[in-house]
C-alpha cells in the first residue's frame, strides 16, 4: 500500500504509516468524493492459490482467517447505525480482503489534542463521561466487549455554540462477543488498561476460561479512565507491577486521588475489583454520575477551607515508588465554557446527531495508539 494506489476503489491520498497502528498500516483514502480512514492488517494473511505451502498449512491459515473475518463481520452486523446511541460510535463502513490482505474502512475523522480534561467544570466532566458510558452501554447491551478501551480510542467533540464536550468511541478491531474472545495468542488490547482476568488469560493462566472475559473487562478500563479524566492521572500502584491489573491480581489495592468524592472512590473501587462479577454494570455507573457534583475534587487543605490546587499527581509515601503515568501525556484546555447539566444527556438519547450544526473535533491524546 502506497500513496496513489487504488484498493477496492479506495485511492490512497496520504503516506501510509504504522504510527500508533499496532498490527496495522493506515492511510487516508478517497472514494466517490468522500474521504475515509483505511487500515491494512498485517496479519492474518490468507493463503494464496499459488502458494507452495502444504495443504495442511494452507488449511490452518485459512481457518485462522475465517475466524478473524467472522469476528469482524459479527461486530459490524451487531453495531448497526440505526441503533440507539450509535451516533457516538464510529462504525466500520467496509471490511474486505484483496489478495491475501484484509482491510477495514471507517469515515475520516480529523483530530487534535484536548488538553487537561481534568480542568473541565464538574458538569462538563459528567457529560463527557456519561456520553462515553452510553456508547459502552450500547455495546454491552448487544453483548460486545470493546476490548481496547483507553483514551486514544475515545474521540472528544465540542459542538459550535454548545457548552459541553461529548465522547465518541472508536476502534473496534479488538472487539469480540462477550465470553468468546480470541485465543491467548491472538487476543489484543493495551495492558495498561487491561482487566485482571484479561491479563491472566493473556499470560496463559489455565485457571482463566475464555467465557470469563466478558463486558466486565471494559468496566475495569472505564474505572481507570474515569480517574484519569477527573484528576489528570491514573490510580497509583506500586512500581514493581507492570500494570494496574497486575497489582490487583497480586492482591494490592489501587490508590485513588484523595480529592475525589467518597462516592466516586467507592464506585472506582468496585469497578476495579479483581473479580469480574463484583464490578457494576454501566447502568450503575451512569446513575452514579446523575449528580455532576460527584465529579468535583473536594479535598481541602488541613486546617483550612481552601481546596487543594489541581495537580496531575498525588504524592505517595517517601518509602515507596508509585507509578502515576500511563505512558501518555496530558496538556491544558484552552477554554472554560459555560456550564451544562449532566441531565442534558439522557441515557435513552443520542447526544450527537448527524443533523446537528458543524462540529469541531478534538481528541484526548493520553495513550499510545492509532488515529481511530
* Ordered structural domains, the chain, with CATH: 6-107 (3.30.200.20), 117-363 (1.10.510.10)
pLDDT at 333: 33
Task: Write the Ramachandran bin of 359: left for phi over 0, alpha for psi from -120 to 50, otherwise beta.
Answer: beta
- Between 303 and 359, name the one with better pLDDT: 303
Give the lowest-confidence range in 92-106, 206-220, 301-315: 301-315
The CA dihedral of 57, 58, 59, 65, to the nearest 10 degrees, is 110
Residues present in the chain in total: 372
Q: What angle do CA 279, 282, 288 make, to 5 degrees?
A: 90
Residue 16 has pLDDT above 70, yes or no: yes
Q: Quick one: angle between helices 216-231 and 262-271, nearest 10?
A: 150
- Between 77 and 334, name the one with better pLDDT: 77
| Per-residue confidence band for 9, with pLDDT thresholds at 50, 70 and 90 | very high
pLDDT at 111: 56
Residue 119 has pLDDT above 70, yes or no: yes
Contact 3, 16 (CB under 8 A): yes
pLDDT at 90: 85
pLDDT at 235: 97
Q: Which residues of 184-217 are buried (b: 16+ CB within 10 A; e: fewer)?
A: eeebebbebbbbbbbbbbbeeeeebeeebbbbbb
Residue 334 has pLDDT above 90, yes or no: no
Measure the CA–CA gap between 88 and 28, rounded to whole angstroms: 21
Residue 45 has pLDDT above 50, yes or no: yes
pLDDT at 169: 86
Residues 6+ apart with CB under 8 A from 368: 20, 152, 190, 327, 328
Q: Which of 71-75, 298-302, 358-362, 368-372 reaches the highest mean pLDDT?
A: 71-75
Q: Quick one: angle between helices 216-231 and 122-141, nearest 10?
A: 170
Averaged pLDDT of the chain: 79
Give the pLDDT confidence of 54-80 residue by residue, as tens digits.
888 888 889 999 989 998 898 888 887
Give the pLDDT confidence of 201-227 residue by residue, as tens digits.
999 999 999 999 999 999 999 999 999
Average pLDDT (103-111) is 82
pLDDT at 23: 82
Measure the CA–CA gap between 172 and 166, rounded to whole angstroms: 19
Residue 30 has pLDDT above 90, yes or no: yes
| Per-residue confidence band for 159, with pLDDT thresholds at 50, 70 and 90 | low
Find residue 97's DSSP bridge partners: 102
pLDDT at 301: 52
pLDDT at 320: 39
- Between 55 and 40, name the one with better pLDDT: 40
Q: What is the pTM of this model?
A: 0.75
Average pLDDT (135-148) is 93
Measure the CA–CA gap between 349 and 80, rounded to whole angstroms: 16
Residue 25 has pLDDT above 90, yes or no: yes
Measure the CA–CA gap between 97 and 165, rounded to whole angstroms: 37
pLDDT at 342: 39
* Longest CA span, the chain: 78
C-alpha separations of 292 from 118, 129, 153, 310, 324 in Å: 14, 10, 24, 18, 25
Measure the CA–CA gap between 254 and 257, rounded to whole angstroms: 10
Residues 6+ apart with CB under 8 A from 230: 118, 125, 257, 260, 264, 295, 297
Residues 6+ apart with CB under 8 A from 248: 196, 254, 272, 273, 274
φ/ψ (deg, to 5) at 284: -65, -40
Nearest partner of 133 among 215, 253, 20, judged by Cα: 215
DSSP 235: P
Amino acid at each position: 500500500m502506497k500513496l496513489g494506489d487504488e484498493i477496492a476503489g479506495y485511492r490512497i491520498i496520504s503516506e501510509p504509516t504504522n504510527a500508533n497502528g499496532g498490527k496495522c498500516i493506515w492511510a487516508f483514502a478517497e472514494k466517490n468524493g468522500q474521504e475515509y480512514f483505511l487500515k491494512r492488517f498485517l496479519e492474518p494473511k490468507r493463503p494464496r492459490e499459488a502458494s507452495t505451502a502444504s495443504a495442511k498449512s494452507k488449511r490452518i491459515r485459512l481457518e485462522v482467517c475465517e475466524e478473524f473475518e467472522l469476528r469482524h463481520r459479527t461486530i459490524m452486523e451487531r453495531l448497526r447505525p440505526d441503533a440507539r446511541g450509535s451516533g457516538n460510535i464510529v462504525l466500520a463502513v467496509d471490511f474486505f480482503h484483496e489478495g491475501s490482505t484484509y482491510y477495514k474502512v471507517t469515515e475520516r475523522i480529523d483530530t487534535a489534542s484536548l488538553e487537561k480534561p481534568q480542568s473541565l467544570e464538574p458538569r462538563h466532566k459528567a457529560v463527557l463521561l456519561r456520553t462515553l458510558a452510553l456508547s459502552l452501554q450500547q455495546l454491552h447491551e448487544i453483548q460486545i466487549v470493546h476490548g481496547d478501551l483507553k483514551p486514544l480510542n475515545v474521540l472528544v467533540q465540542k459542538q459550535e455554540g454548545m457548552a459541553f464536550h461529548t465522547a465518541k468511541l472508536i476502534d473496534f478491531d479488538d472487539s469480540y462477543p462477550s465470553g468468546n474472545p480470541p485465543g491467548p495468542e491472538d487476543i489484543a488490547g493495551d495492558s495498561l488498561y487491561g482487566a485482571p482476568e484479561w491479563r491472566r488469560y493473556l499470560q496463559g493462566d489455565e485457571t482463566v476460561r475464555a467465557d470469563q472475559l466478558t463486558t466486565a473487562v471494559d468496566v475495569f478500563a472505564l474505572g481507570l479512565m474515569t480517574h484519569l479524566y477527573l484528576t489528570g492521572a491514573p490510580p497509583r500502584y506500586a512500581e514493581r507491577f507492570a500494570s494496574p491489573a497486575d497489582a490487583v491480581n497480586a492482591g494490592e489495592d489501587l490508590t485513588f486521588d484523595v480529592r475525589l468524592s467518597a462516592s466516586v472512590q467507592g464506585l472506582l473501587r468496585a469497578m476495579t475489583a479483581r473479580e469480574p462479577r463484583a464490578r457494576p454494570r454501566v447502568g450503575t455507573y451512569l446513575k452514579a454520575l446523575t449528580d455532576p457534583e460527584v465529579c468535583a475534587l473536594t479535598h481541602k487543605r488541613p486546617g483550612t477551607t481552601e481546596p487543594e490546587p489541581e495537580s496531575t499527581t498525588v504524592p505517595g509515601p517517601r518509602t515507596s515508588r508509585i507509578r502515576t503515568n500511563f505512558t501518555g501525556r496530558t496538556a491544558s484546555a484552552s477554554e472554560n465554557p459555560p456550564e451544562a447539566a449532566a441531565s442534558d444527556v439522557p441515557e435513552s438519547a443520542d447526544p450527537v446527531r448527524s443533523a446537528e450544526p458543524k462540529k469541531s473535533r478534538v481528541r484526548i491524546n493520553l495513550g499510545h495508539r492509532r488515529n481511530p
